[in-house]
Chains A and B, each alone.
Chain A
Amino acid sequence: MLNVFGESKKKIGALILLGMFSFLALLPFAPVATSLALAEEEAAVVEGEESDEPKMGKDVFYKEEGEFGPISGPPAPTMVYPDDYGTYGDFQSRTIIWISNQQHLYFGSFVLAVPMFVWVMELIGIMITQKGDAKLGKKFDDLAHEMMKISLTAYSVTAILGGILIFSFLALYPGFFRYLSGIFRPVMHIYALLFILESGVLYVYYYGWDAMNDRCGDWKWGHLALGTVLNAVGIALMVMANTWVSFMMSPAGVDAEGHFLGDIWKVMHNPLMVPVVVHRILGNAAFGGGVVAAYASFRFLSAKTPEEKGHYDWMSYIAMFMGILALIPLPFAGYWLMREIYGYRQQMGITLMGGLLAWVFIMQATMIATLFITVNYYLFQAMGRMPGSERYYPAFKFLLAILVVSTISWLTPHTLVMTPAELKAMGGAQHPVVGNYGVMSAKNTAINCMITTTVVTFMIYQRCNVNLKVPWAWKGNIFLGFLISMAYVNILFLGVYGYYIPANVRIGLSVPQVASTLTVLFVGVTVNLKMLKGAEPVGEIQWGKMSVRGAYALFMLAVAFTWTMAVMGYLRSSVRLHWHVNEILRDNSPWAFTNPLGYAGNINSLNVLLFWTMLLFVFWLSALATAGKKKVEAEEAATAGTAVPAGSH
């Protein structure tokens, strides 16, 4: 589609620009080459001084090939309190690090996720414009532009928070930071350089938006390519920061004393790195969607004109939709991560799922259930703006019932809190009925049911304001009914069957369960879309007519996303127990203990509140900038908004 070999100077310009950025993108790797060369030199010097061969260390993780490596760094120090730890009075230093980390992470996730959406929005905008609907195309393009503006302010906040984080580390955990930076030395430099590159690309991308906007011309495609570079750099940044964290959880590339064994890639590619990265990218996207949706709902609530109201209703719907797209695969990614953790250390897995931190998973289940119920509730509310949806109202309560029953079975803990009298009355630590819901089999079933239900709600949303006109509509309906009920039956059957087979086979069962869910998602939605072809609308979508409860549901969604991130971060961090770096670098500070859940809950709520307060400031800033332009935009948007069919995205 991108014809840069034309005669236009602009096209050549775009090409040169792209080339420049590609070169810039390669720049950060220069220090690696230098550092590798340096490492070789150092090794040579060591060889010369000591003996014929460098001392070899045995890797804590890698076996067989690559089990041994030359010792190329100091051992992990024995941390001593108070020398290796800084304090501010008796306050838990860890909590300060916790809060600054969390804030940095929130803003980091946000500025990482928003460009992803923006990229997709821009692409949709270009494609719609190419199809000929310039007005709708512009609407998407403006939406993307507006989102980017929020992200821009958030970006500088991220940088500031990152600085605060580093200073907190240096001030409070100097010993730990010294060790970690000793190992990740080259990577940390690349990280810093990539950050500069990210800033450059971001500013060009944002400020060049209008200048490069020739609707669907080559400059626009070039702009989109810039967006690609921006996202690539952003993801690279996140992956790097992730390797540090996953190294702390599951170190590799060092020996049992913590000597660096010379291969930085092994350190980065530690056992939990890939699943953590995947989980985090999806989580970031869902979180970003939630934040933008909350922003839009706030503007929706405070909108002065019906046009404005319509625009932000639409925007919140789009953002929520993007968030949900990322949310649906998230439980599966989480399941994979958990499996890898069990594979890495049984002890770690049991600490999480059955031991010390098991109650956090009940909290997490609560949060995920909240998310899915809220999404469904939002969609129910959103149907208030769709004429003709009344026909589906009676079905809502059954969908809600499925969600609630799933929630109840998912929330049932494996370990019950009870008085000895209750224990005796129950006749065992496990309840004969409810106890069956405490195990993985039931929980997998519950989450799959919830996701399937969400998909069904969405399918209803797609078709609720039209009368089907395709001749095979009745066949299609029967097929869909069959598909959905078979999916539920399959999920339930496998869930029950799971109690009768060994655990390793049972784990395999989650695959067909997930397959059922995904079939409903892809086949069901596709068939549903096909059936909508040529459908006769009952009435036009009345953007802005959503109930206030829907907007509040979106706030709930955003808070639940934020809070879930916080609680899962607490979980991931706590599972190291009293280690800075698991089994390598011990935490000898007075705060080596694992905080109880209640404390974590308080800090999480504080963190979330802090984040949203700062975000409010960011929103306010971006609103200041556009206060003048808004009226015109809103009018345009509202007129375009009415033409968007519900099923088109």
Chain B
Amino acid sequence: MRLRLILAVIVARLAMTASRLTGRGRGSSLPGRLALRICPDILKYYRHQPRKGVLMVIGTNGKTTTSNMLTGILRRSGNKVVANWEGANLMTGIVTAFVRAGNVAGRIDSDYAVLEVDEAVFPLLAGWIKPDLVLITNFFRDQLDRYGELDTTITKVLAALKKFAGQETLVLNGDDPLVARLAVESGLPALFYGVLPAPELSGGASSSREAKFCPLCGTTLQYTVYIYSQLGDYLCPGCGFARPCPDLEASAVLEEQSGVRAMVRYGGGRRELAVPVRGLHNLYNALAALCASLALQVEPPTAFAALGEYLPATGRMEIFHYNNRPVLLNLVKNPAGFNRALAVLLGNQGDARQEVLLAINDNDADGRDISWLWDVDFEMLALRPEKFSRFICSGQRAEDMALRLKYAGLPVWMVDIEKDCRRAVEQVLHGEGENVSILTTYTALWPVEKILSRQAKRVNSRDDYRLPSVS
């Protein structure tokens, strides 16, 4: 059997080299696919190798950012970490990460494995590798044609958790009732993180929010504050299920042009946190990574400092500069994430008018059904049209995007259609807006990023996250 392993590793590594030499693809799934074909049980050779443990990050949104933040913190505190490449969160991508990190005999030298795992793959993966800690960020509706309904996804995750031995730790977003329920239902020990539900943070209820009803008993949930989507301070009048008292909680949240600040209370004290990426959702990601790393006994000053230097992965609120104008690049893949991105655009201060590019594809990885665009609250843009100069719609479903904006109430003269991504990027960079935002679905992100990185200067990202992932 050892021979199959070595053969699998060699073939996979050849595929990696080939993809690097030809510059084709990002080489994150093919090597793993080949290795799995040759040695289907390859993961069992790796599962006990990380000396301190295997950590998995699941949830609909924020997986990549949270995993990268957690990896950054653990490395800064002197650990060696194996991690999968951004977005490569299926079995193939995870196998690729281990193969890349190890030698030809399949040996890896690492303290931790931090694995970003697709929620649909988690039950299967957990059958091969039992994690020591599972971090769950949130559950939102996502690509119904691929995952089916949200209820089904959560039920499968719960079934996998119920098979655990019982010593594993859950790190859960306590503000999301769909996540917090898993502590009650799995019976596993859990740590919760959250944001103090101050009324001034209340984003109001989105019409597409999940969890109108208690996940445990079906009674309509009562909220005192919605932070965004179904995240907030909830209570079930039927069975008493409620937002748990968080083990780590942020208050005094300040959203700035350069990032988010907050005061964080944790077991041993209080400390100011500054994360240099925009958006309240990224504060949640930072809290998740903090909560997990403190549970792993990382010293708080080290963890806070690592987050203070965090640089985003491709298309996660990434900032470029072009002709002295800031250009924001952000991936959008479901209504909750899209709403967060729109909230960031609307939060831009001052009178500067913004030029916006929306690139929507409908390949398998984007979801072939784009009806979710109608669950995004574009109506909020139409309430503040003076903040924008133009919306350019691009990608395979450019026309549908334009139509959505029209029915949201934006005047059609503000909406252009340019299906070709290259020309659309040119146009948005040379438009009259004083700052530029580009929001794209998954398969449109890479071509747009390629064009953009040739033309504009990257400000808050570094290449580390695109390079092999063992330090």
Q: Do A and B bind each other?
A: no
Interface residues of A (CB under 8 A from B): none
